[in-house]
Amino acid sequence: MLLVRKRYVVPTLVLISIAYFIFSTLPPGADVSYIKQTSANDIIKSAKDGSHIRWSKHEEQYPIADYISLPTSSPSPIPRIQYDFPSEPWFNRIWRKRKQKAVREAFKHAWKGYKDNAWLKDELSPLSGGYRTSFAGWAATLVDSLDSLIIMGLTDEFDQALQALNDIDFSTTESLQINVFETNIRYLGGLLGAYDLTNGTYPILLKKATEIADFLYGSFDTRNRMPQSRWEWTRSAAGLAIRPSGNTILAELGSFNLEFTRLSQLTGDPKYFDAIQRISDNLEAAQKETQVPGLWPMMVDAQSLRFVDTRFTVGGMADSTYEYLPKEHMLLQARTPQYQRMYESAIASIKDHLLFRPMTRDGKDILFSGNVNALSKSSHQKIEPQAEHLKCFLGGTVGIGAKVFNRSDELPIARKLTDGCIWAYDIMPTGIMPETLYLSPCEHKRDCGWDEKKWYRDIRRRPPKHANIADTDAAAKALIDQFKLPPGVTEIADSRYMLRPEAIESVFIMYRITGDKKYQDAAWRMFKNIDKVTRSKYGHAAITDVRQTKPAQLDYMESFWLAETLKYFYLIFSDPDLISLDEYVLNTEAHPFKRPS
């Protein structure tokens, strides 16, 4: 009997300690003024009997009296986005279909690896055949890939995934913290995209979408209705009031528009649109008051709604906030001018403060978007010439904005941004762009001849790694050899390729906008090079160094490889009416939402 008692005493003490930790160690911004006294006991009881804490609808701390409804004014005409493609010669169709088939085969290889080794887990580990729990353990890759399965005609695989949805319980997770942004774009976006693509044939998709949205909606239950982006959901489940963080990533605040708007359109429930519209109103109110008017800083104080950070970029931590402006305009059928105003203010500032032309030996007229650290509005704001794979979405976004807002003078900018990312792929030994690199910027965008001496100087000035090198051309040449720097590149700060989709995203969009076959040619080069060095036994793996012709692989295959990257490669070789940009809006995870007609 003594042995039996000991067996239960230790686990019980551990569970009580965990419960104490949950309720005594509150996250930044948590409010302890309202606590249900029975909550800790309930959680301990749930843990004892082996069940999880479950989320259910409950009385809100800060309920909404009057919801902001979807705009009801008459829709305004939106110009056509896609190029008017002519009839295709039969021999062109044969070659295009062969390329499309190769992409589909790559997808099937990675999907099989996931299905055989990581089914109903978040992500496959493509080298070991294991799995990772990255996003609450709700089968992120499965949900994220639903519409890719539909698009590629993998009917049996889609049916199997659809059946598996019944086994996913969005009311509970072992994760104590939820990344609300990632959950929104991958799970909610994936379910809504599949629902729209199948014209509502499968009600379970909308049912599950509503479940995950109602769960996420709890993160908005704050005093100012701004979400707690890294949400301590168990505290909310226990009746603890929460507050948004004083350090919220911009993209994690401003990237709910499409998903929540589409759900309100489909369900008729205004609460989802209300949630995102309050964010948009606050963003617009602050847009012209930041240190770089027109742009929002990388970090936002969502608790006090202050936008005082001095760092500005359209790359990681900011990207999809800008991407969603023209897309939300389209999804709302241009019933409100708000998102056009916000986009036009942003694009003017992006052109003035962030875009730069790099030096290239062959004088290519290309553009990249850098970063700015503005200590004050009056300070001289020098562009940090950082190119980043995550920023490669911008060419497609500017292209869409140029079309839907009749800003035709910006279509060449969209081309140059997209061509810049293609160039960054082509100059690397693997034919793949790295995560982050720094370039030697032109003094003038229109007059930019190659200057070898300037390139050497810019390499020597890259802090802090090269701070103590000699101020000589020989020293710069030694760094070029040591770090394998292509002409015009001053540093490769992160040499990995993480299976990212942003470059092919813009290449696809620019092909659909312009009909220029060079984008299909570039896509084929990119795909062949990526498939060659990332293919592994169980799927496709991220790589360590794009400068190596045979780079080492990493045991990572994020869900966006199947949800985005391969989808865009497949679509650029598809018939142009498959996921037409005049019929669908794609969220930042490439999930297609039907534009209301």
Largest CA distance in the chain: 88
Give the residue-averaged pLDDT of 218-223.
97
* pLDDT tens string 359-418: 999 999 999 999 999 986 655 679 999 999 999 999 999 999 999 999 999 999 999 999
Kindly tell me if the per-residue pLDDT of 493 is higher than 60. yes
**What is the structure's pLDDT at 53?**
84
Taking each helix axis from N to C end, the angle separating 203-217 and 257-267, rounded to the nearest 10 degrees, works out to 120
| Lowest mean pLDDT, pick from 11-20, 73-82, 204-213 | 11-20
Answer positive or negative: Cα dihedral of 19, 23, 24, 30: positive
Give the residue-averaged pLDDT of 11-25.
38
d(CA 445, CA 413): 12
**What is the structure's pLDDT at 55?**
87
364 burial via Cβ count (<10 Å: 0-12, 13-18, 19+): middle
Kindly tell me if the per-residue pLDDT of 309 is higher than 90. yes
Give the three-class secondary structure for 494.
Answer: strand
**What is the structure's pLDDT at 465?**
60
Confidence of residue 456 (pLDDT cuts 50, 70, 90): very high
Give the residue-averaged pLDDT of 520-542.
98
* pLDDT tens string 45-71: 443 343 468 888 778 999 999 999 999
Inter-residue contact 250 to 297 (CB < 8 Å): yes
DSSP H helical ranges for 25-89: 39-48
Inter-residue contact 538 to 117 (CB < 8 Å): yes
From 363, 374, 584, 400, select the one nearest 506 (Cα to Cα): 400
Beta bridge mates, 355: 369
Confidence of residue 466 (pLDDT cuts 50, 70, 90): low
d(CA 292, CA 372): 9
d(CA 420, CA 510): 13
**Mean per-residue pLDDT over the chain, rounded:** 91
Kindly tell me if the per-residue pLDDT of 30 is higher than 50. no
Kindly tell me if the per-residue pLDDT of 107 is higher than 50. yes
d(CA 354, CA 302): 24
Give the three-class secondary structure for 237.
Answer: helix
Give the three-class secondary structure for 62.
Answer: coil
Kindly tell me if the per-residue pLDDT of 547 is higher than 50. yes
From 413, 422, 458, select the one nearest 440 (Cα to Cα): 458
**What is the structure's pLDDT at 12?**
39
- Domain 68-450+487-594: give its CATH architecture: Alpha/alpha barrel (1.50)
| CA-atom Rg of the chain in angstroms | 25
Inter-residue contact 359 to 442 (CB < 8 Å): yes
475 burial via Cβ count (<10 Å: 0-12, 13-18, 19+): middle
Domain-by-domain residue ranges, the chain?
1-49, 68-450+487-594
Write down the pTM of the prediction: 0.91
Confidence of residue 462 (pLDDT cuts 50, 70, 90): confident
**What is the structure's pLDDT at 381?**
76
Placement of tokens 């036994």 in the chain: 537
Kindly tell me if the per-residue pLDDT of 281 is higher than 50. yes
**What is the structure's pLDDT at 33?**
35
Residue scoring higher pLDDT (327 or 375): 327
Kindly tell me if the per-residue pLDDT of 18 is higher than 70. no
Q: What's the Cα-to-Cα distance from 449 to each of 99, 358, 360, 420, 424, rounded to whole Å?
A: 37, 10, 8, 17, 18
Answer positive or negative: Cα dihedral of 50, 53, 55, 57: positive
Residues annotated as part of the active site: 435
**What is the structure's pLDDT at 485?**
97
| Lowest mean pLDDT, pick from 49-58, 191-200, 367-376, 527-536 | 49-58
**Residue 574 structure tokens:** 């598809």
Give the residue-averaged pLDDT of 417-438.
98
Give the three-class secondary structure for 258.
Answer: helix
